[in-house]
A = this chain, B = another copy of it.
Amino acid sequence: MLPMEILISVAKINKYASPESGDTVEVIERPNGGMSVVLADGQSSGRGAKQISNLVVRKVISLLSEGVRDGAAARAASDSLFTERKGKVSSTLNILSVDMQTSTLVITRNNPAPVVIATDEQIRLLDEDCKPIGLYRDTRPLISELPLEAGLTIVMFTDGLVHAGTRYGEAMDFITCLQAIIEDENPHPQEIADSLLAHALQLDEGRPVDDISVVVLQVTSQEGDNVRRMTVRLPLA
C-alpha cells in the first residue's frame, strides 16, 4: 500500500435564529486504527432535536470505541432510541469510517439523503431507499464498503442541504455544484464542504430553513509529514 492520507472536513450551521443545531457530528479514533465520523439529525429542530441527535451520536461513538462494528452500532442506536422514545421520535444517522483492519471505507446510512462518492472518473450517489432510526423495531442500515484508494472523495450531509431553496422555489443541485467545485485543482475538503454550504445558504437567502451539516472525506496519496492534525472552529454567537 502506497502511503496515503485521510482528510476529513466538516462545515455546520444552525437553522436561522435557532440557538442550537439539531445536528450532531463527532469524529473519533477507532480502537483498531482509523477514524469514524458520526452524523445525526434529530427530528424537528432546536433543543429537543439536539438531545436526540446527541443521544444517538453518543451511543454510536461509545460502541465504536469499544470495537463494535459500524452496522451493529447503528442497529443498537436505533433500538436504543426506539426504546427510550417509544418509537415516537426519529433521527437520521450516517457513519463514515476509515477502517484500518480491512483497509476499507465503510459508509453506513440510515438517512434518506444520499451520500456522494466522487472518484477521478465519476460522481455517483448512494441513494437506495433507507429509513431513519428510532421509529421501528429492527431498523437496519444500508452499508457500503469501498477499498481505501487515493482519489476518493465522499460527501455526506443532513437534509438541510437537500432541501435548501425549496421555500423559494429553487432546488439544490448538489451534483452539479460538487462537479463545479472539484473541477478546480485539488480542492481541500474544507473548501468543498464550505462551498456546498455556501451554495445552500444562498438558496435559502442567507437564512437557513433547517440545520445544515456537510462532511467531506478525501483519500489522497500522502504529501508531507507523519503528523496527525486537527483544527476546530467554534463561533460563540
Which residue of B has the minimal Cβ distance to A50?
B31
Q: How far is the CB of A110 from chain B (nearest CB, A)?
A: 20
Number of copies: 2
- Given contact pairs A5-B234, A35-B232, a sample of 15 additional A-B residue pairs in the complex whose CB atoms are under 8 Å apart: A1-B236, A7-B231, A8-B230, A9-B230, A10-B229, A10-B230, A12-B228, A26-B28, A29-B54, A58-B65, A61-B61, A224-B235, A228-B234, A230-B231, A230-B233
Chain A residues close to B by CB (< 8 Å): 1, 3-14, 20, 24-29, 31, 33-35, 54, 58, 61-62, 65-66, 98, 100, 148, 188-190, 193-194, 197, 222, 224-237
A-B contact pairs, 20 of them (CB 8 A): A7-B232, A7-B233, A7-B234, A8-B232, A9-B230, A12-B228, A13-B228, A20-B33, A26-B29, A27-B230, A29-B54, A34-B234, A62-B62, A148-B236, A224-B235, A225-B235, A228-B234, A229-B231, A229-B232, A231-B231
